[in-house]
Structure 1
Amino acid sequence: MNKLIALFFLIFITVSCKNNGKSDYVLPTSNGNTNKILVVIKGNDWEGKIGDEIRSVFGEHQVGLPQPETLLSVGQIDPVGFNGFMRHAKAVLILREGEKEKIAVEKNKYADPQILVYATAKSKGDLVDLIRNRGKEIIKLFKDEDVRFTQRIFKKEKLDESKFETVKNLGIELTIPERFRLVEDTGDFLWLRQHLKSGIARGDGTNNILIYSYPLEDESKVADNITRMRDTIGKKHIPGSKEGMHMITEQAYTPFIFDAEIDGKKAYETRGKWEVKNDFMAGPFINYTIIDKENNRVIVFEGFTYAPSVNKRDFIFELEAIAKSLKIK
């Protein structure tokens, strides 16, 4: 009798789980780096016009970097081979033919975390057009997910930013990994530095964070003053190895400025190159200039990288993820 009761109880639990749409199955951990996607497409299509269009759109160079680096690194696999371990890729683009054009997103289907983007069009020619016309939209889906993925990692190793006077005075919070160390904190200006520990840049390369603010006087002139403001800060706070040396915006390279949004507020994203005046040090920077109308000020988050002889896209991306975690209390 006890065995019969136990059997009925097991059946009840199983049915209840199914009815509630729940499962005890634990997804495997996904594999793959940020800024890298796997494209599921037949080999002959990859070598043909569809693949050419993917390489053209996704292979566009990221602006603001000293060496050419693509927006995304792209690999390919045939649909027949997309099974088993290969399904555990963190970011996957699946191209297929169907009745109507659409872009759909599915998360954590085969692994966790994972994003699958399905790009569907009526024919191969239409797939080419879809990638050409909506490729930037697809890239943004992957980039935004990578930002969230990176922020989740940083939250697990989060630095207590509230101990910095500048952060407290500005009334902000953000997710900074504890690998960053304090360089300067005046109450009005914060400089944090992370020493890179891998690759050729090990021991010599650094990722840096600058945070400060200034009064909002004329909103229409904020974008035009970004370079002047960062050069002023560089002269005051970022010295070189000798007297008369300090960080400036590279004069031979015009920065790129884009509209952005941080914590629901209007902002400008600036990507460019920095250099040390009268010296040979240089590298890329990313700057978010945030218009805080409620407090009549402009808040600036800037990240810059010094990593000689190595690619810098992923270092700048980490700084981007930190910047986009910023909240104004």
Structure 2
Amino acid sequence: MNKILILFVASLALFSCKRSSKADIILPRSTGNTNEILVVMKSADWHGKPGDEIRTVFGEHQVGLPQPETLLSVNQIDHSGFSKFIKNNKAILLFQKADSTGISIERDKDARPQIVIKATYGDELDLTNLIKTRGKEIIQLFKDEDIKFTQSIFRKERIDASKFKTVENLGIDIIIPERYKLVQDTLNNFLWMRHHLMSGIARGDGSNNLLIYSLPLGDETKVADNITSVRDSIGEIFIPGSREGMYMITEQAYTPFTYETTLDGKKAYETRGKWEVKNDFMAGPFLNYTIVDKKNNRLVVFEGFTYAPSVNKRDFLFELEAIAKSLKIK
């Protein structure tokens, strides 16, 4: 009887082991900052042509920022040093020699959340060409993962945005973290919220701001061309300066960059540029998403702008991008 019981328990344990999955494994929390990746590559390649290609592709500057800042911050380590806690980095680009050239993705391999992009190649020429041809795709994969990661954090500390008249009237849902405080919410469907920066040189004076409003659709072919004039008129009405005659406008010495994109599955335009206060010295970067909502014959606009003198602003604007991309039209 005892033997039968032992065999039954052993079989049950074996069955349980087979049923266990990676999701059941408790992984450590990943390390590393947003917009930062770890490149695992042979030091000889890093100091040669492949490394030069990485610095060229990954060193591209984010448009619309007052000071030059790269799309991603890149750190490199040789395979010999890639072990233990270093494998817990949340964003890893791992280069390995193989019979074929390409990229593959693995998530939550050694930590959570984590994305590991494995890039395989045959020789140095293959490696250099891989970076040149698929570098932008790799960058976007890392950026998209950071957006999801940032939104997951904001989701835990989100405010009830439905209490704002503009959000309710526009019939939208959006994840806004509680650090943002109300500045203005009008019956004209205009919402302005602000987060006072609490660290760094910009502490006290610095702020991250988000605006949400809507406009009639009009001629769809002219939407992109009118983004600058629309935001200037909004600035004149709603974003005043410290004295009369001062208000936020698009910086006249810098032409914004506008790209067609999608947001909430709808056609949209992403515009990045610099703002300034007319007749004053305040300025900074902005990010504008103008969504074509054909169903309701309107444009829904999300804009984020940052005022953070004397500090880098890439990550502040990225936070606003993550909020914008959480917007859903009901």
Q: Secondary structure at the match of 1:222?
A: helix
- Residue 47 of structure 2 aligns with an amino acid whose one-letter code is E
Hey, what does 2:99 align to over in structure 1?
99
- CA–CA distance in structure 2, aligned partners of residues 308 and 128 of structure 1: 38
- CA–CA distance in structure 2, aligned partners of residues 130 and 257 of structure 1: 28
Q: Kindly tell me the number of residue pairs found equivalent between the two proteins.
A: 328
Report if aligned partners of 1:54, 1:131 keep a CA contact under 8 Å in 2.
yes
Hey, what does 1:121 align to over in structure 2?
121
- CA–CA distance in structure 1, aligned partners of residues 316 and 251 of structure 2: 19
Hey, what does 2:277 align to over in structure 1?
276
- CA–CA distance in structure 2, aligned partners of residues 140 and 122 of structure 1: 24
- CA–CA distance in structure 1, aligned partners of residues 194 and 215 of structure 2: 22
Hey, what does 1:300 align to over in structure 2?
301
The one-character-per-residue Cα deviations of 1:149-180 (angstroms, maximum 9, x if unpaired) are: 00000000001100000000000001010000
Q: Secondary structure at the match of 1:280?
A: coil
Q: How does 1:200-279 map to 2 (within 5 A)?
A: 200-279=201-280
The one-character-per-residue Cα deviations of 1:131-161 (angstroms, maximum 9, x if unpaired) are: 1111000000000000000000000000110
Q: CA deviation at 1:97?
A: 1.9
- Residue 110 of structure 1 aligns with an amino acid whose one-letter code is D
- CA–CA distance in structure 2, aligned partners of residues 14 and 129 of structure 1: 50
Hey, what does 1:164 align to over in structure 2?
164
Report if aligned partners of 1:89, 1:111 keep a CA contact under 8 Å in 2.
yes
Report if aligned partners of 1:265, 1:292 keep a CA contact under 8 Å in 2.
yes
Hey, what does 2:15 align to over in structure 1?
16
Q: CA deviation at 1:76?
A: 0.6
Q: CA deviation at 1:81?
A: 1.1
Greater displacement, 276-285 / 123-132: 123-132
Hey, what does 1:314 align to over in structure 2?
315
Give the CA RMSD over aligned residues: 1.3
- CA–CA distance in structure 2, aligned partners of residues 283 and 70 of structure 1: 17
Report if aligned partners of 1:267, 1:289 keep a CA contact under 8 Å in 2.
yes
- CA–CA distance in structure 1, aligned partners of residues 109 and 317 of structure 2: 29
- CA–CA distance in structure 1, aligned partners of residues 3 and 182 of structure 2: 65
Report the CA distance shift for 1:29/1:9 in structure 2 as closer, same or farther (over 3 A): farther
Q: Secondary structure at the match of 1:269?
A: strand
- CA–CA distance in structure 2, aligned partners of residues 252 and 289 of structure 1: 22
Greater displacement, 84-93 / 11-20: 11-20
- CA–CA distance in structure 1, aligned partners of residues 16 and 272 of structure 2: 50
- CA–CA distance in structure 2, aligned partners of residues 208 and 136 of structure 1: 29
Q: How does 1:57-96 map to 2 (within 5 A)?
A: 57-96=57-96
Report if aligned partners of 1:97, 1:124 keep a CA contact under 8 Å in 2.
no
The one-character-per-residue Cα deviations of 1:43-98 (angstroms, maximum 9, x if unpaired) are: 11111111111011001100000000000000011111111000000000011222
The one-character-per-residue Cα deviations of 1:265-321 (angstroms, maximum 9, x if unpaired) are: 000000000000000000000000000000000000000000000000000000000
- CA–CA distance in structure 1, aligned partners of residues 303 and 51 of structure 2: 36
Identity, % of aligned positions: 66
- CA–CA distance in structure 1, aligned partners of residues 312 and 3 of structure 2: 64
Q: TM-score, normalised by structure 1?
A: 0.97
Hey, what does 1:130 align to over in structure 2?
130
The one-character-per-residue Cα deviations of 1:206-229 (angstroms, maximum 9, x if unpaired) are: 000000000011110000000000
Hey, what does 1:174 align to over in structure 2?
174
Gaps (5+ residues) in structure 2? Answer: none
Q: Secondary structure at the match of 1:300?
A: strand
- CA–CA distance in structure 2, aligned partners of residues 322 and 282 of structure 1: 22
Report the CA distance shift for 1:4/1:128 in structure 2 as closer, same or farther (over 3 A): same
Q: CA deviation at 1:100?
A: 1.8
Hey, what does 1:197 align to over in structure 2?
198
Report the CA distance shift for 1:166/1:124 in structure 2 as closer, same or farther (over 3 A): same
- CA–CA distance in structure 1, aligned partners of residues 9 and 203 of structure 2: 56
- CA–CA distance in structure 2, aligned partners of residues 180 and 10 of structure 1: 55
- CA–CA distance in structure 1, aligned partners of residues 3 and 158 of structure 2: 51
Gaps (5+ residues) in structure 1? Answer: none
The one-character-per-residue Cα deviations of 1:227-283 (angstroms, maximum 9, x if unpaired) are: 000000000000000000000000000001111111100000000000000000000
Report if aligned partners of 1:291, 1:298 keep a CA contact under 8 Å in 2.
yes
Q: Secondary structure at the match of 2:28?
A: coil
- CA–CA distance in structure 2, aligned partners of residues 86 and 3 of structure 1: 47
- CA–CA distance in structure 2, aligned partners of residues 21 and 123 of structure 1: 39
Report if aligned partners of 1:275, 1:281 keep a CA contact under 8 Å in 2.
yes
- CA–CA distance in structure 2, aligned partners of residues 96 and 258 of structure 1: 35
- CA–CA distance in structure 1, aligned partners of residues 7 and 160 of structure 2: 52
Q: Secondary structure at the match of 1:32?
A: coil
Q: TM-score, normalised by structure 2?
A: 0.97
- CA–CA distance in structure 1, aligned partners of residues 271 and 79 of structure 2: 39
- CA–CA distance in structure 2, aligned partners of residues 11 and 258 of structure 1: 61
Q: CA deviation at 1:4?
A: 7.5
